[in-house]
Structure 1
Amino acid sequence: MSSTFLALRRRPEFREGARDMLGITLGISAWGLVTGVAMIKSGLSLPLALMMSLTVFAGSSQLAALPLLAAGAPLWVLWATAFCVNLRFVIFSAQWRFYLGHLPRRWRLFTGYFAADLNYVAFMRRYPEPKPADEPALAYFWGGVALNWSAWQVPSIAGILLADRVPTEWGLGFAGVLALLGLTYSLLSDRKSWISAGVAGCAAVASYALPLKLNIVVAIAAAVAMGLLLDHWMPDARKPEEAVK
């Protein structure tokens, strides 16, 4: 596996993938820093926070889980929230299989850990035709992944290690909201995503009074439901033979 990765790293597409991710790494890094600080401020120990950052590698579910941990929410609420927040990866995976389904299972499992939202967006823009990824496409994928993973983990770990020195009055929570808004805007690429985001926002506000931050779960469920309905009502304008490739 390591020799294959080194071979991909030498290809020019690897550098192209990293370059395409470079423009959005500032938002990713800000989000990672805020999440690292938030983990410690929420009461997690240093080892647990480091383990969560390295193993979960999903900032939105981490930020959704932290208020629940601080509030002493039941474990089923925590799991249900994380599950709902990460449902989008099921949709991403359904599309990834056209590109990565031919790889050995160990490679697919390894790739699944790194396949994040913005890597998906950048890759689909570069390779819109759903077909098995060749070596240049895989090199592009891993170039974006390498930068995205580093841009998240380095600031996140820095936030964990320096959290005790960061005053609460700095307003890092608001900085995290701004970082999330910037990343969200980059994902709103068509009318369907804008409508789904609007429905999620309205649902979150309407259910704000629910305990244990359950309005987050309601907003996610509403957005997913609206996205599925829009996919049914407004199918992509692709030829039938292209949709089944």
Structure 2
Amino acid sequence: MSEPSRRAAAPPYVAEHDQASWRAGLKEGMPTLFGIAAWGMVVGIAMVKTGLSVPQALAMTLLVFAGSAQLASLPLIAAHAPIWVIFATALVVNLRFVIFSALLAPHFAHLPWRKRFLLGYVSGDMTVALFLQRYPSDRPEVGKLSFLKGLLYPNWLAWQVGSIAGILLGSTVPAEWGLGFAGTLAIICITVPLVASRAALCGVLVAGAVAVLAAGLPYKLGLLAAVVVGMVTAMAVEEWMEKWRKK
């Protein structure tokens, strides 16, 4: 189906702007904005402390917009790891966004690809989770797109404000503040609410064990191995539990 015919086939009221829904999305995501900004500041400082210049760090935060992938790649950049290792690590860490895209696709497949590309760029873990909690069904509803924008755009802005502030302040922050540990705590705070099933918990536990056991591998490959093994474990447990339910 061509792009114009796809837009014509979509219910027109789904794509129109709805101010009340946008405000509802903003209100729903508001409690997470401070934490997102704080995490962005930690990542911004970490980029500068790793050795990136201010222009490089600004380009990374604006183009990548993926805190976990940024934090995972920074030690590899500092260690002068091969570029394929850096890209592979970032790719594996961000594979969850493929799942997010698959979950959002039925809701917004009728939109032009440029709009879908923009929505994909500004999507985040918590915003997608909050949207799917509000709209578990993909049936057309008034204000659905506006609600998603109310979640995504403030979240993106909070991250960029925090990250840019961290980049600009990075050279003035003493090393003894222990920002590496703060970054770890920030990731834990984001991750824990997402571990909402036994399969996810098993994946996290296995990934943690593999990360500790493989910590001595060169180029931080232990992190890559932990992510892959953790994902495979979570999928295997989920499949086993699904079969067990059907018995």
- Could you state the TM-score of these two structures normalised by the residue count of structure 1? 0.89
Deviations 1:3-60 (A, max 9, x none): x9xx63x521111111221222232122100100011111111111101000100000
Alignment partner of 1:226 is 2:230: no
Deviation at 1:133, TM superposition (A): 4.9
Amino acid at match of 2:83: L
Amino acid at match of 2:107: Y
User: 1:203 aligned to 179, 198, 210, which one?
Assistant: 210
Asked whether the equivalents of residues 40 and 49 of structure 1 are also in contact (C-alpha less than 8 Å), the reply is yes
User: 1:171 aligned to 174, 178, 193, which one?
Assistant: 178
Listed as ranges, the matches of 1:45-194 within 5 Å are: 45-129=53-137, 131-194=138-201
Distance (Å, rounded) in 2 between the aligned partners of 1:96 and 1:203: 31
**How many corresponding residue pairs?**
233
What SS does the aligned partner of 1:176 have? Answer: helix
Counterpart residue number, 2:38: 30
Deviation at 1:95, TM superposition (A): 1.2
Report the identity percentage.
Answer: 45
Amino acid at match of 1:226: T
Asked whether the equivalents of residues 65 and 78 of structure 1 are also in contact (C-alpha less than 8 Å), the reply is yes
The structure-2 alpha-carbon separation of the partners of 1:41 and 1:99, relative to structure 1 and needing over 3 Å to count, comes to same
Counterpart residue number, 1:212: 219
Distance (Å, rounded) in 2 between the aligned partners of 1:151 and 1:160: 14
Deviations 1:78-123 (A, max 9, x none): 1111111111111111111111212111111111101111111111
Asked whether the equivalents of residues 102 and 132 of structure 1 are also in contact (C-alpha less than 8 Å), the reply is no
What SS does the aligned partner of 2:136 have? Answer: coil
Show structure 1 runs of 5+ residues with no match: 239-245
Amino acid at match of 2:170: A
Asked whether the equivalents of residues 100 and 133 of structure 1 are also in contact (C-alpha less than 8 Å), the reply is no
Distance (Å, rounded) in 2 between the aligned partners of 1:113 and 1:46: 22
Asked whether the equivalents of residues 27 and 180 of structure 1 are also in contact (C-alpha less than 8 Å), the reply is no
Distance (Å, rounded) in 2 between the aligned partners of 1:101 and 1:237: 33
Between structure 1 and structure 2, the one with the greater Rg is 2
Deviation at 1:236, TM superposition (A): 9.9
The structure-2 alpha-carbon separation of the partners of 1:153 and 1:231, relative to structure 1 and needing over 3 Å to count, comes to same
What SS does the aligned partner of 1:235 have? Answer: helix
The structure-2 alpha-carbon separation of the partners of 1:236 and 1:172, relative to structure 1 and needing over 3 Å to count, comes to farther
Deviations 1:168-216 (A, max 9, x none): 1111111111111111112112222212111111111111111111111
Amino acid at match of 2:102: A
Amino acid at match of 2:155: N
The structure-2 alpha-carbon separation of the partners of 1:97 and 1:152, relative to structure 1 and needing over 3 Å to count, comes to same
- Could you state the TM-score of these two structures normalised by the residue count of structure 2? 0.88
Alignment partner of 1:41 is 2:13: no
Amino acid at match of 1:34: V
Cα RMSD (Å): 2.2
The structure-2 alpha-carbon separation of the partners of 1:236 and 1:54, relative to structure 1 and needing over 3 Å to count, comes to farther
The structure-2 alpha-carbon separation of the partners of 1:162 and 1:215, relative to structure 1 and needing over 3 Å to count, comes to same
